[in-house]
Structure 1
């Protein structure tokens, strides 16, 4: 709210994996490593994740260098992401009535071109703070269309039984990108401030190229979806999500979790930058967080298979609260590095369980709208987190950032623990029993 062992010899690859339908239920699904559409999608997204991680590390530092103000740098990041708030809900409607493969190709290509414009402007000495904000905004809009298309595509090519593993692998992919992205971003930033942005160009281009080569259908028939007016389809999606207590509770509470955690990390990075910490060392904080999440992603399939979602949520978020309390008390570089690793260890398990469960119980024709509506929890946090982190840092220092957001995070975890529908979700072998129908017309 995103591991297999290589064979000794090349294995044949399936183009049409068995999905969780009645016709294919009797046959065991092919391993994910032999599922060609899944492998292609994951290959492009892995490259995008690495390139995006390199670019994201540099953006706050680049904005700080262009403006000279932590608050202004946070504002630029917030303005840059605000476009996604406007695009997210329409994007879900589009994803449910459009060929998903084509939508992924177009959205990723647009993002690649936008990031390339920033690289060219920087090379010519003409990159401004507002140009950077415009690129961030346009890229966020493209991502708003890309994310629900990818979510629906995953559900189309991955059987229900393999969803926890697929989403845990995606979490591990992002963790590996985070491990490499921080130090690589710091190294490239030391050479030229805008050089890390090349990673975003390459990553989005790879996603577009890999999706282009997917030949398996990523949608059911969209004729009926196209017969519904877009505004009616949007209302249908909002009503569908609001009718499910778990989805309804997730909307607000996970916004608060994302704002608290990401706001703290932005505040820490800006504090280290303005106190003269070398960029490579700043990147180590993100690397340790990503390494912890990688370990958590490796353990996630086993944990999701054994623990109910409510238990996983508490086990994942309580250590995050305790870790950030420790950071607020100590306020040292070593504390940031060590405790961020401790806190993030269980996060991939709850992310994988939540993503897998929501995908498993939602019909194909609603996948895009579900992803976009629930994705508001992350999209809303994207502009808020840097704005909150930067503003609090400017107003009162790192102590104010940490203690304020620790209080928000702790209150949110208590709120999640009181959501009864969260505790009713079982292990993956019961998810098919919770499948929901499309709303009646």
Structure 2
């Protein structure tokens, strides 16, 4: 069944997934940017941190604005321009004076930040609704595979000449743009905003389900991101070498590459909100395991449970956001969803760092509570939708 479902996906999606893999493998500049700025450009760590932070702000602004621009001028067209603009910025970084690095890197983050929600909107808007979860899961699998492959290659390149890192990212961006231009069709729904339909905010405000999903994603992703902030701090403080932490993250990424798409296909017919809620429950249980057993063994259990939860909720929620999008708003709905997730990523490190510094034993219970509250909120929404649909069915037959 799984292989049959994969074969039924459109041929162009295979090329798009290849592009995702290439781009993810080559997305190295952000990973080594702080080291480059300090060791190659002579900046102090504080200034380098501000510039890297400017790149993050640019990514957030790009993610928020990219959907509206894509809906107005064409999702596929803007995605191609985003990758080409990002490639140009990467080629310029090694050659511009230090004073221009901040604006250039922030602008590059903005332009490149448009591509992620547009890519999700392109997949979700160009394939049949029943195939969306599998398509999103395949796209995520390709990106996770790139995360496994890319950093070691980037480290080798940086050890030889840092300019190679930027060249690799530029080449992979151009390759991805070429694949999208040559093989990927425009979305089935023409995404051109007009003044006739409802505004984005009116559409979202009228859809309780989508804003409940966005709030849940913000809270749960803020908790989930603590595996990248609080967890390595806890492990190193308890005497674990960083290689042990790295092995956990690598194993998680490898499992996602292997298992997420088959799981998405198996569960494609199940109600989305129930699958997302179940994923949140696994996230909460993972953090509870860490609260009870704050050692490396607990971290192994935590990452295993959280990986299962991630495979359940992430592809399903992105596809569900596409399912709820009105005609012509695919890009903006994906921008909203991505921005909620990114906002969780932004607030998680400072808040988690503060809690870990002043009350470390509270961090994991708080994360568990956020995930379980998100699960409860979406489960309640699912029950409300089911009751409403049953009432409508009774009234129509009666």
User: What's the TM-score bracket when you normalise by the shorter of the two chains?
Assistant: 0.7 to 0.9
Find the residue that maps to 1:375 and give its secondary structure.
helix
8 Å contact 1:316–1:347 — kept in the other structure? yes
Instruction: Report the Cα distance in structure 2 between the residues aligned to 1:403 and 1:409, rounded to whole angstroms.
Output: 10
Q: Does the 8 Å CA contact 2:2/2:266 hold for their aligned counterparts? A: no
Aligned match of 1:107: 82
What is the CA deviation profile of residues 400-428 of structure 1, one whole-angstrom value per residue up to 9, with x for unaligned ones? 3x7436404423422441342234678xx
**Count of residue correspondences:** 384
Partner of 1:31: 8
Confirm whether residue 243 of structure 1 aligns to residue 206 of structure 2.
yes
Partner of residue 344 from structure 1, selected from 307, 312, 315: 307
Aligned-pair distance for 1:302? Answer: 4.2
Aligned to 1:318: 281
Name the CA shift for 1:204/1:383 in 2 (closer, same or farther; >3 Å): farther
1:417 aligns with 2:376: yes
Post-superposition offset of 1:55: 4.7
Alpha-carbon contact 1:87-1:144 (below 8 Å) kept: yes
1:141 is matched with which residue?
110
Partner SS state of residue 308, structure 2: coil
How far apart are residue 287 of structure 1 and its match?
0.9
- The corresponding residue for 1:158 is 127
Distance in 1 of aligned mates of 2:37 and 2:301: 27
Equivalence map 1:88-127=2 (5 Å): 88-118=63-93, 120=94
Unaligned runs of 5+ in 1: 7-27, 434-441
Aligned-pair CA distance for 1:265: 0.7
Distance change in 2, residues 1:105/1:294 (3 Å):
same
Return the alpha-carbon distance in structure 2 between the equivalents of residues 294 and 410 of structure 1.
28
Q: Aligned partners of 2:169 and 2:239: how far apart in 1?
A: 26
For normalisation by structure 2, the TM-score amounts to: 0.77
C-alpha distance in 1 between matches for 2:159 and 2:327: 46
Q: Is 1:44 aligned to 2:23, yes or no? A: no
| Structure 1 residues 212 and 80, CA gap change in structure 2 (3 angstroms) | same
| 1:193-219 superposed Cα distances (whole Å, 9 cap, x missing partner) | 776555533432222111121363336
Q: Counterpart in 2 of 1:436?
A: none
| 2:234 is equivalent to residue 265 of structure 1 | no
Change (3 A) 1:299 1:412: same
In the TM superposition, 1:83-232 aligns within 5 A as 83-118=58-93, 120=94, 131=101, 134=103, 137-185=106-154, 199-214=168-183, 216-218=185-187, 220-221=189-190, 225=192, 227-228=194-195
Q: Is the 8 A contact 1:263 1:385 kept in 2?
A: yes
Tell me, yes or no, if the aligned pair for 1:99 and 1:219 is still in contact at 8 Å: no
Flag the structure with higher helix content. 2
| Alignment deviations for residues 101-143 of structure 1 (CA, whole Å, 9 cap, x no partner) | 221111011112223334x25xx9x879x93x65653343224
Give the match's secondary structure for 2:183: coil
Residue 338 of structure 1 and its aligned partner are, at CA, apart by 5.7
Question: What SS does the aligned partner of 1:345 have?
Answer: helix
1:330 Cα shift?
5.1
State the 1:41 CA deviation: 2.1
The change in CA–CA distance for 1:215 and 1:324 in structure 2 (over 3 A counts) is closer
Deviates more, 1:358-367 or 1:237-246: 358-367
Q: Structure 1 residue 373 and structure 2 residue 350: aligned? A: no
C-alpha deviation, 1:370, in angstroms: 1.4
What per-residue deviation string (whole Å, max 9, x for no partner) do you get for residues 201-241 of structure 1?
A: 3432222111121363336456xx4653xxx98x7011111
| Superposed CA offset, 1:178-202 (max 9, x none) | 3334554555566667765555334
CA contact (8 A) 1:261 1:405 kept: no
Contact (CA 8 Å) 2:230, 2:352: kept in 1 or not?
Answer: yes
